[in-house]
């Protein structure tokens, strides 16, 4: 099936357009429709995993159409090991969010569902885009629905939070736009007719002079650092989280923040390797400050949602640290941790939303001992919390362990300090559990809280399943990202692409014979594909050829 990625990308938006024509006053069918569309998208995204070739580091399932040929801007999408799981995380979280908001969104349900679906498309688009301008378009497209979600369905200070969120993000991303334009015009003289190129595969390995790398590095890094958010730029995040409705928080923490870390991996490292290596200590330092600072601030929060929000600052600090430690283990850990954080923090926000629905307060002091009145709820919350803490056997452990193990090789000092963050996380999350669930019931209202409802269980169970799956068998996920990470590292270190090519193929072959057979079977199935592949293996053209193989295959 060609166009699989396009289907996944545009299915939610198509659904949103259909929903526009539904009348306003039937919230049931509207939410049902939204759920159906997002579930279909999820199924379609599972097909991406099914068609994903394990042993290949480059882009797969690539589709390319001219969009603005005069500027060399194409609609090019493709998936590779680093983005695969993030796409799946997005498609998984969207139905979860719609389920979770089933009974909590009463105001303008139609617009809410539409915003969520547009968000989903934009996020998937940003993960899949292989053209810088296309990426930028999706990156910006995310802003407005999120702005509305915070601003319309948010809490008391929602307008302030929404504007702050919007302005912070756009300030960074506009500078990135300049960087994108500059990059695109780097090779203008090489192409016929002076058309710039924004295809990232053509821009990888572009060895720019150091001073230009530095400028562009900061233009891009600022945009992504705001999105992550990295320590001094994080101030919009707690406001946004506290004011956003539960669904908004889940999407914000679960996927949107990953745009930042993903951007570092996909653009900053491969485009500006020298600058990245040079400024890695700075970013690691900031992320370690973020880890400790986020944890400490989370500790003293009286508000559950704020606590989880600050824990996000801390957790994403780990992701950035892993990325800039620049080695196989830490980057793989970082990618996995992005997914983990999406699952565990998403679950936590969802569960905080559940009690908020019932009690309309998020203050720790207003709860206590509700484990007795809400036993099922407590089980889910504790699992999500333990995942966030990094208990072995659950997903958080794998990610944090890989990041710390990787970082110890390159930056032992920072890694040691960061490890304190893990301990702090255990403290503040256990403190939360202690204060909310155990101990005597001090408030009468807490004696009669209804336990978690069917829609909330349906929303949280998939997350818990994934949390356990990643914890027990992370290799399902790591295996598919490994070749891409290897290739990324090779680009950063300036190694010759063909070495990577052979390395990743060899790695694939040794590790998984299935992968090799898969390759040969698939290439055998398509004549053109096989020709391309044989060139790819024997020829000296390397990674570039590999991409072309996949293009032919499609």
Partner 1 sequence: MTWADTLLLLPELIAATGASILLIVPVLGGRARGHMAKWAMLALMAVTALAVIGSTYAVAGVQQTPTFRAMFAVDAFSVFFKLLFVVVIALVTLLSEDFLSEERYSTWEYYSLLAFALCGMMFMASGVSLITIYIGLELLALSSYILAGYYKNHEESTEAAMKYFILGTVSSAILLYGISLIYGVCGSMRLSTIAAALSTMLSNDALMFGIMLLAAGLCFKIAAVPFHVWTPDVYVGAPTPISAFLSTGSKAAAFAVFARVFYVAFPAFHLDWSNVLAAIAALSMIVGNLAAITQTNVKRMLAYSSISHAGYSLLGIIAMNEMGLRGILIYTMVYVFANLGIWATILMLRRHAYAGESVEDFRGLHKRAPFAAFSMVVFLLSLGGIPPTAGFIGKYFLFAAAVQAGFGWLAIVAVVMSAVSMFYYLRLVVAMYLEEGSGAETIYSPSLRFVTALSLTVTLVVGFIPELPIRQVIESSSHLVGRVVQR
Interface residues toward partner 1, by CB under 8 A: 66-71, 133, 136-137, 140-141, 143-144, 147-148, 151-152, 158-159, 162-163, 166-167, 170-171, 174-175, 177-178, 181-182, 184-185, 196
The residue among 140 and 366 lying less far from partner 1, judged by its C-beta, is 140
The residue among 212 and 363 lying less far from partner 1, judged by its C-beta, is 212
Closest to 78 in 3D by CA, of 60, 66, 55: 60
The residue among 97 and 148 lying less far from partner 1, judged by its C-beta, is 148
| Long-range interactions of 293-298: CB distance < 8 A, separation 24+ | 293/231, 294/234, 294/421, 295/421, 295/424, 295/425, 295/428, 296/424, 298/428
Q: How far is the CB of 174 from partner 1 (least distance, A)?
A: 4
Q: How far is the CB of 91 from partner 1 (least distance, A)?
A: 22
The residue among 102 and 166 lying less far from partner 1, judged by its C-beta, is 166
The residue among 65 and 499 lying less far from partner 1, judged by its C-beta, is 65
**CB–CB of 294/313 below 8 Å?**
yes
Q: How far is the CB of 191 from partner 1 (least distance, A)?
A: 14
Cα–Cα distance, 284 to 260 (Å, whole number): 15
Interior CA angle at 200 toward 545 and 285, to 5°? 120
The residue among 75 and 293 lying less far from partner 1, judged by its C-beta, is 75
The answer for residues whose C-beta is within 8 angstroms of residue 29's C-beta and 6 or more apart is: 22
**CB–CB of 30/22 below 8 Å?**
yes
Q: How far is the CB of 247 from partner 1 (least distance, A)?
A: 17
Residues belonging to the chain? 554
Q: How far is the CB of 265 from partner 1 (least distance, A)?
A: 23
The residue among 108 and 511 lying less far from partner 1, judged by its C-beta, is 108
Strands 60-68, 73-79: pairing kind: antiparallel
What are the residue ranges of helices labelled H in 494-525? 497-511, 513-525
Question: String of b and e for 329-358 (b: at least 16 CB within 10 Å)?
Answer: bbbbbbbbbbbbbbbbbbbbbbbbbbbbbb
The Cα-based distances of 461 to 44, 344, 468 in angstroms read 20, 12, 11
Q: How far is the CB of 138 from partner 1 (least distance, A)?
A: 8
Angular region, 494: left φ>0, alpha ψ -120 to 50, beta rest: left
Q: How far is the CB of 239 from partner 1 (least distance, A)?
A: 15
The residue among 198 and 318 lying less far from partner 1, judged by its C-beta, is 198
Q: What token pair was written down for 231?
A: 């320590």
The residue among 67 and 469 lying less far from partner 1, judged by its C-beta, is 67
Question: String of b and e for 12-32 (b: at least 16 CB within 10 Å)?
Answer: bbebbeebeeeeeeebeebbe
Q: How far is the CB of 129 from partner 1 (least distance, A)?
A: 12
**CB–CB of 253/341 below 8 Å?**
yes
Q: How far is the CB of 101 from partner 1 (least distance, A)?
A: 18
Q: How far is the CB of 160 from partner 1 (least distance, A)?
A: 10
Phi and psi, residue 111, nearest 5°: -65, -35
The residue among 222 and 552 lying less far from partner 1, judged by its C-beta, is 222
Q: What DSSP string runs through 177-225?
A: HHHHHHHHGGGGGGSGGG----BHHHHTT----HHHHHHHHHHHHHHHH
Q: What token pair was written down for 209?
A: 């002079």
The residue among 170 and 509 lying less far from partner 1, judged by its C-beta, is 170
Q: How far is the CB of 131 from partner 1 (least distance, A)?
A: 13
């Amino acid at each position: 099936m060609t166009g699989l990625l396009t289907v996944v990308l545009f299915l939610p938006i198509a659904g949103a357009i259909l929903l526009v024509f539904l009348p306003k006053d039937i919230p049931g069918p509207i939410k049902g429709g939204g759920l159906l569309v997002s579930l279909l998208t999820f199924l379609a995204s599972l097909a991406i995993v099914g068609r994903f070739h394990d042993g290949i580091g480059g882009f797969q399932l690539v589709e390319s159409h001219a969009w603005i040929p005069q500027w060399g801007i194409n609609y090019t999408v493709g998936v590779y090991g680093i983005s695969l799981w993030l796409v799946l995380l997005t498609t998984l979280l969207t139905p979860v969010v719609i389920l979770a908001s089933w009974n909590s969104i009463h105001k303008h349900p139609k617009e809410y569902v539409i915003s969520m679906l547009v968000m989903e498309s934009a996020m998937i688009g940003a993960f899949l885009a292989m053209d810088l301008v296309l990426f930028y378009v999706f990156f910006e497209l995310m802003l407005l629905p999120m702005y509305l979600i915070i601003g319309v369905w948010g809490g008391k200070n929602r307008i302030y939070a929404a504007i702050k969120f919007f302005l912070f993000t756009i300030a960074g991303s506009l500078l990135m736009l300049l960087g994108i334009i500059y990059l695109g015009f780097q090779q203008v003289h090489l192409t016929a007719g002076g058309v710039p190129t924004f295809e990232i595969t053509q821009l990888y390995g572009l060895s720019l002079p150091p001073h230009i790398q530095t400028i562009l590095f900061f233009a891009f890094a600022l945009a992504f650092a705001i999105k992550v958010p990295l320590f001094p730029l994080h101030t919009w995040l707690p406001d946004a989280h506290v004011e956003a409705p539960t669904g908004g928080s889940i999407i914000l923490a679960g996927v949107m923040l990953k745009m930042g870390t993903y951007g570092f991996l996909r653009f900053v490292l491969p485009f500006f390797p020298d600058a990245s290596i040079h400024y890695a200590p700075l970013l690691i330092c900031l992320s370690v400050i973020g880890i400790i600072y986020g944890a400490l601030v989370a500790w003293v929060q009286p508000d559950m949602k704020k606590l989880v929000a600050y824990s996000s600052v801390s957790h994403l600090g780990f992701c950035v640290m892993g990325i800039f430690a620049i080695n196989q283990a830490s980057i793989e850990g970082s990618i996995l941790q992005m997914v983990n954080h999406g699952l565990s923090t998403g679950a936590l926000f969802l569960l905080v939303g559940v009690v908020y629905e019932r009690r309309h307060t998020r203050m720790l002091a207003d709860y206590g001992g509700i484990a007795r009145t809400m036993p099922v709820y407590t089980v889910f919350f504790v699992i999500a919390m333990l995942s966030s803490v990094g208990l072995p056997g659950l997903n958080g452990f794998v990610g944090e362990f890989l990041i710390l193990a990787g970082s110890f090789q390159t930056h032992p000092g920072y890694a040691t300090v960061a490890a304190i963050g893990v301990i702090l996380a255990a403290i503040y999350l256990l403190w939360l559990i202690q204060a909310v669930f155990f101990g005597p019931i001090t408030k009468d209202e807490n004696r009669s809280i209804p336990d978690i409802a069917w829609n909330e269980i349906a929303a949280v169970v998939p997350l818990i399943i994934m949390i356990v799956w990643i914890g027990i068998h992370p290799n399902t996920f790591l295996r598919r990202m490994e070749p891409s990470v290897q290739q990324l590292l090779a680009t950063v270190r300036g190694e010759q692409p063909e070495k990577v090519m052979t390395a990743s193929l060899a790695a694939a072959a040794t590790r998984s014979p299935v992968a090799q057979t898969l390759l040969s079977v698939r290439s055998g199935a398509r004549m053109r594909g096989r020709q391309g592949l044989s060139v790819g293996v024997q020829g000296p053209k390397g990674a570039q050829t590999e991409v072309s193989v996949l293009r032919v295959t499609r």
